[in-house]
Chains A and B, each alone.
Chain A
Amino acid sequence: MTSPIKLALGPLLYYWPRDTVLSFYEQAASWAVDTVYLGETVCSRRHELRLDDWLYLAEMLSAAGKKVVLSTQTLIESESDLKALRKVVDNGPFRVEANEFGAVRLLFEAGMAFVAGPALNVYNPDTLALLASWGAVRWVPPVEMPRTMLAAMPIPAGMETEVFAYGRLPLAFSSRCFTARHYNLQKDSCQFRCIDHPEGLLMNTREGEGFLTINGTQTQSGKVHTLAQHLGELAGTPVAALRLSPQAQHMAEVVATFRDVLDGILSAAQVAAHLQPLLPAPACDGYWLGKAGLDLTSV
């Protein structure tokens, strides 16, 4: 049976060489994802792709039948950040994901429907209703929101819910670049070292436990959050789409696995064994159960 739940490919959080990015999205055009988020959300200094390149990819994916959403930067600090943001909002045909309230203001004033991204901190129905009134048609809850809280959220008419279901969790944002710091460089002369780390830099505890991942100004989980084993628990929640966050390895197989579980081709019992060789780091799922995010509650 085909599940009505859709898959979305989240924005690329890492800094990959231009050719790698172009080839990644050429492949993604044939994957079983309904929606593809494009654009740089982490660092304004990254420039392998400019807005025109993202728009080229948007056209290509759109022609392949995907819904395309342009994601905005999560931390907007400077006038040039705002200038870049305005260009994304004024792009013309493509929907925009707002990742902070400066973007919400611009989208509201332009009268454009938008996606309310996971960093907007929507934790309650009142705020979600406001976002709907400002033009949000889809929202991504904070990645720490447990299933029980999500199930208790009244959802405004016409609002779709998309949850973060696979990938290293984007946990924190800073103006400091921790990759540059690792290399004893200042951010303004960072030499773009994050391009050497296509899945970030693992930060271990002093007893060798992979704890967090450094990705420039963003700090991610060390483990890979996955809801693949919990897809049977989506009933009773408003979830309409699952966000799969691009990792450097095995994304095609990861997308296919999620689709197969949703459609009943893979059983819940089979999924862990199927996913295991595809994971770039140990799995976690604690947030979904209201526990510490790094916990793994299902095996």
Chain B
Amino acid sequence: MSKPLLELICPAGSLPALKAAVDHGADGVYLGLKDNTNARNFSGLNFDAKALAEGVRYAHAKNRKVLMALNTYPQPATLKRWQQAVDTAATAGLDAIILADPGLMAYAMKTHPHLRLHLSVQGSATNYEAINFYHEHFGIQRAVVPRVLSLPQVENVVQHTPVEIELFGFGGLCVMVEGRCLLSSYACGDSPNTFGACSPGHAVRWQQTPTGMETRLNGVLIDRYADHEKAGYPTLCKGRFEVQGETYYALEEPTSLNTLEMLPEMHRIGIAAIKIEGRQRSPAYVAQVTQVWRAAIDAVKRNPATFKPQPAWLTQLDKVSEGSMHTLGAYYRPWK
């Protein structure tokens, strides 16, 4: 069987978002359960058993795939809950589960041998030796690569592995290697690895002060905004800090990833799927972004040589992105 090429995988933080993705042309959606077994553990988000059943029914009726992210790291006291989540996915007829923890992969492989496994970006596999290891030991069939490789580096990975490679194409941007970032737990006790969220809402405070709007994470000042500036969510790697007397975005600007212009190159090197970030975003966001990326992927598949991102697409994406700034991220080497 030949590998898929440029499948469009869209975020579903809720049933309405799942339907929006399916209706606007996603080849697959990814979702999580309502707890810390996935890396978007935010209140009001994600799926219970009933919504999951309805979501799978809706997507499968239109011949689209449903993937479940179980991509946080199980801990000794609660290991069972992660295993039960794997069982839930298998029973609900999910098309694949997205895992980061080797122990959980072993459980899934043994208990549900026909369940397709994907390696999560949280597994931090950035080279083919690592990806092939997961393939050999757990039969991983697809790997989502952290947003730290340049496109030539990704191409080298693709050439040296039988595993399908999925890349982030659009949405929030981690500047750190996913799964290798504890900044959030250092500041507030909860990290993506164990708690399933970065800079979680319960630790966030917004406060208007005489010197401007301050955003804090567990008391740590992440940024301060003058009256003419738009205050952003205090994701701690995207605040302004002072280094040697200079105050600036020391780690990363509040920007989001947009790789639309790289689609022909991703097509050429054989990327199996493009992932859109944003399970925490609204169904309207999912609809807009899915629609644009569907059109763009169809266009690049028709004729990669003449592909050019259409201004209307970029306008539509600009409207929904965080901070309304775009970057090619690490795919474009000078970003590093």
Contact = CB atoms under 8 A, between A and B. Distances in A.
Interface of A: 74-79, 81-82, 85, 100-106, 108, 119, 121, 123-131, 142-144, 149, 152-154, 169, 171-178, 181-182, 186-188, 201-209, 211-212, 214, 219, 221, 286-287, 290-294
Interface stretch (B20-28, B39-47, B216-224): B216-224
Interface residues on B, range: 35 or more
Contacts of B179: 121
Nearest to A124: B74
16 contacts: A78-B153, A100-B127, A101-B129, A101-B130, A124-B79, A129-B103, A149-B76, A176-B336, A178-B250, A182-B246, A203-B250, A205-B221, A205-B241, A206-B242, A214-B250, A286-B189
B175 interface: yes
A77 B148 contact: yes
A121 B73 contact: yes
Given A76-B127, A172-B180, A203 B336 contact: no
Interface string B172-184: 0001110111110
The 9 A-B pairs at the shortest CB distance, nearest first, are namely: A126-B103, A102-B129, A293-B186, A175-B148, A127-B103, A105-B133, A101-B130, A123-B73, A152-B76
B129 to A, nearest CB: 3
Interface of B: 73-77, 79, 100-104, 106-107, 123-130, 132-134, 136, 148-150, 153, 156, 175-177, 179-183, 185-189, 191, 193-194, 218, 220-224, 237, 240-244, 246-247, 250-252, 330, 333-336
A102 B136 CA distance: 12
A193 to B, nearest CB: 11
**Interface residues of A: mostly helix, strand, loop or mixed?**
mixed
Given A124-B103, A219-B176, A293-B182, A209 B133 contact: no
Contacts of B136: 105
A149 B101 CA distance: 17
A154 B252 CA distance: 40
Contacts of A292: 185-189, 218
B231 to A, nearest CB: 13
A94 B230 CA distance: 55
Contact of B194 (A123, A125, A153, A178): A123
Given A124-B79, A211-B241, A176 B175 contact: yes
Nearest to B147: A175
A102 B123 CA distance: 12
Contacts of B123: 101
The residue among A100, A201, A208 with the most chain B CB atoms within 10 A of its own CB is: A100
